[in-house]
Amino acid sequence: MSERISVTEVRNALRCPRIFALGRLRRRAVAFPVGSSCLGATFHRVLEAFSGQVADPPTDFAALAKGAPLDAVRASLSTWLLERLMDEVDADPTYHTIPGEVDDLAEALRELARHLAARLREFDEAPASAMPKLFRAAEMTIEARMGEGGPLVHGRIDALYGDARGRLEVVEYKLTDEANDELDRAQVALYSDLLRSAERIAVGATVLRFTPALRETKMNEQAAEALLAGTVRPLLDRMATWALEPLTAPPTRRSDLCPGCPVSRDCAEAFPERLPIRDDPPMAATRPHAALESGIVAAEPPAVATPLDADEKGRKEAYALSERVLQELKKVGVSAICPRPPVVGPTLYVIEVVRPRGAVSHLDRAAEDVRHRVAA
C-alpha cells in the first residue's frame, strides 16, 4: 500500500468516512469546524513561540534557583506565556473584538503554567536548566509507515515532553470539551505510534484539555495499543480503499454531525440517496405548519437573546489600572499614553501603552519594573 494519509484525514474518517472521501474528491482535507476552538491556532502559535525560548528564557525565570517555591515558578511561567499571548494580541486588532475568548485563552495558559511548574519539580536542578529537558519540542512534524506495507501517515505533534528519567511523551493540546474525547485519544495514540515507528523509542501519550480548566488524560501503553489495534489500524486499511474509490465510503453513524458539516452540499451531490440524519430537518427547526382554519402559517422565529449588561465595575477597574501604569511610568521618567480604552474581559484586561515621543526602548526597559510594582 503506497497511500499517504494525514492525521487530520484520520480524524475526519473517524467522524464520517464520507468527509474523508469528499476531501479526496476535492483534493484537500476538509477542515471540520464542529467542536473546534476559534483560538486553537492562537494557542498553538503561543506555545511554538514559547518553545523557541526554552533554551534562553526570560531573566526572571532564569534567575529562579534550584528548589524555588512552586508558586514562584508558576507565576514566572504564567508571565512568560502571557507575554507571548500579548504579542499575538498586539499583532492583530481583531482580538479586541473577542475579549471573552482571549480571557479563556489566557486562563488556559495559566493552567498550563501550573502544570509545567509541577512537572519541573521532578527535576533535581534549577527550572531554567530543566525546562529544555521537559519541553522538548512544539509543532513537530512526523511521518512514518503504519506497519509493513501500510500507508504513510503524516501529521504535526503539538508537543513532545520529557521527564527526569529521559522518557518521552507525546502531548496534544485541546481547547474543547469532552465531546471529541474519543477522537482526541485516537489522535494522540496514533502520534505516539508514529514517533515510536520513526525513532524506535517508547513514547507515552497524553491529552491536555483546557476548558479553560485543565484536565489531563494519560494513556498507558496497553490502552493506546488497544485503541490502535481495535479502531485506528482497521480504519486506515478501509481508508486506503475509500481513497481509491471515494463513492464507496459509508455515511456516519453520528446524528450530530450533518447539521454543521462543511461539505453537506457536496455530500448530497456525491451521495444522492436519501440519508435521514442529513436530509431531514432537525426536530427544532423553524418550519411552516398548517393553520387551524386553512392555509399555511410560518412558525414564530426564535427569540433573540438580550445582550448582557456591560461590565461597568470591570471597566472602572481597568481604567484605574491604566492610570496606575501611566503614573508608575512617569515616576521612572518615561512619558506614555493609553491611546485606546482598555479591553475588558471576565478575567483579563488588555491595556495598550504607547510612547508618543522619545525612544521606545525606554518604555521597554521600564515595563518590567512597572509590572512588578503594579502586581505588588
pLDDT(305) > 50? no
Residue 289 in this model has a pLDDT that exceeds 60: no
32-46, 195-209, 335-349: which has the highest mean pLDDT?
195-209
Query: What pLDDT is stored for residue 148 in this prediction?
Result: 75
What is the dihedral angle through the alpha carbons of 137, 225, 8, 103, rounded to the nearest 10 degrees? Answer: -60
Instruction: Using the predicted structure, report yes or no on whether residue 176 has a pLDDT greater than 80.
Output: yes
Question: Any idea which residue has 475568548 for its cell?
Answer: 101
Check pLDDT > 90 for residue 220. Answer: no
Q: Could you report the per-residue pLDDT of 227-281, keeping only the tens digit for each?
A: 999 999 999 999 989 988 999 999 998 888 887 787 888 899 999 999 988 888 6
Lowest mean per-residue pLDDT among 37-41, 88-92, 284-288, 315-319: 284-288
pLDDT at position 324 is: 86
Q: What percent of the chain has pLDDT over 90?
A: 49
pLDDT at 162 > cutoff 60:
yes
The mean pLDDT value for 159-187 works out to 92
Average pLDDT in the 342-366 region? 73
Full-prediction pTM beyond 0.75? no
pLDDT at residue number 357: 62
Lowest-pLDDT choice from 202-216, 221-235, 335-349:
335-349
> Above 50 in pLDDT, residue 140?
yes
Residue 35's pLDDT band (boundaries 50, 70, 90)? very low
Identify the CA nearest to 189 among candidates 139, 146, 149.
146
CA dist 283 and 272 (Å) reads 22
**What does the H/E/C string look like for the chain?**
CCCEEEHHHHHHHHHCHHHHHHHHHHCCCCCCCCCCCCCHHHHHHHHHHHHCCCCCCCHHHHCCCCCCCHHHHHHHHHHHHHHHHHHHHHHCHHHHHCHHHHHHHHHHHHHHHHHHHHHHCCCCCCHHHHHHHHEEEEEEEEEEECCCCCCEEEEEEEEEEECCCCCEEEEEEECCCHHHHHHHHHHHHHHHHHHHHHHCCCEEEEEEEECCCEEEEEECHHHHHHHHHHHHHHHHHHHHHHHHCHHHCCCCCCCCCHHHCCCHHHHHHHCCCCCHHHHCCCCCCCCCEECCCCCEECCCCCCCCCCCCCCHHHHHHHHHHHHHHHHHHHHCCCCCECCCCCEECCCCEECCCECCCCCHHHHHHHHHHHHHHHHC
- Note if the bond before 212 is cis, omega within 30 degrees: yes
Cell of 75: 507565576
Query: What are 7's three cell numbers?
Result: 492525521
Confidence of residue 226 (pLDDT cuts 50, 70, 90): very high
Contacts with 115 (C-beta within 8 Å, 6 or more apart), sequence order: 208, 214, 216
Distance between CA 218 and CA 207 in Å, rounded?
Answer: 7
- Where residue 319 falls among pLDDT bands split at 50, 70, 90? confident
Question: pLDDT confidence of 34, banded at 50, 70, 90?
Answer: very low
Which has the closest alpha carbon to 115: 159, 176, 64? 159
Dihedral pair phi/psi, residue 209, rounded to 5° = -105, 125
What is the C-alpha to C-alpha distance for residues 326 and 353, in angstroms, rounded to an integer?
Answer: 8
How far apart CA 22 and CA 19 sit, in angstroms, is 5
Q: How far apart are CA 65 and CA 185, in angstroms?
A: 37
* 185-194, 293-302, 342-351, range with greatest mean pLDDT: 185-194
- Rounded mean pLDDT of the chain? 84
Flag the least confident range among 116-120, 286-290, 337-341.
Answer: 286-290
Residue 190 CA to residue 228 CA, distance in Å, equals: 7
* Digit-coded pLDDT (tens) for 62-115: 999 999 999 999 999 999 999 999 999 999 888 888 888 899 999 999 999 999
Measured CA to CA, the distance from residue 344 to residue 364 in angstroms comes to: 23
